[in-house]
Structure 1
Amino acid sequence: MPYIKIEVTREEVTKEKKRALIKGVTTLVTEVLNKDPHLTHVVIQEVELDDWGYAGEQVSDLRSKGITADKN
């Protein structure tokens, strides 16, 4: 039974986007690993911007400076 956990920052992750992630990941695991989609579990966990960091700073502080993960 595959269990896939996706963690994302809590910003603009709509129900429709979550539905697409769950469907897409399930399809990928079914095709690549030949797993039964009825036994594949996907969990999406949203993390507050204050609780996520990179480059030694909280994402909330980086966002307030206009910095995103794809900018240096």
Structure 2
Amino acid sequence: MPTIRVELFEGRTVEQKRALAQALTEATVRTLGGSPDGVDILFFDIARHDWATGGNLWSDPPSPAG
């Protein structure tokens, strides 16, 4: 079964991660078969200053619309 890597901005609670892990596990078993024990989920908390989209760090304030 798969290992699912989840990268997200830091700040999610343990309860949120627990709920997501359950939902992903259920969806994986429903879609691929197998047992929940075969699904591994790894969470990686990323600081906003370590993530960029379109050349802009997420920690930087948004540019004024021009």
TM-score, normalised by the number of residues in structure 2: 0.87
Q: Which has the higher contact order (CA 8 A, sep 6+)?
A: 2
Aligned residues: 63
Give a deviation string over 1:19-41, Cα, whole Å, max 9, x none. Answer: 01100000000001112111110
RMSD across aligned positions (CA): 1.4
Gaps of 5+ in 1: 67-72
- Higher helix content, 1 or 2: 1
Which is greater in Rg? Answer: 2
Residue aligned with 1:25, SS: helix
Query: Which consecutive aligned stretches of 4+ in structure 1 deviate over 3 angstroms post-superposition?
Result: none
Gaps of 5+ in 2: none
TM-score, normalised by the number of residues in structure 1: 0.80
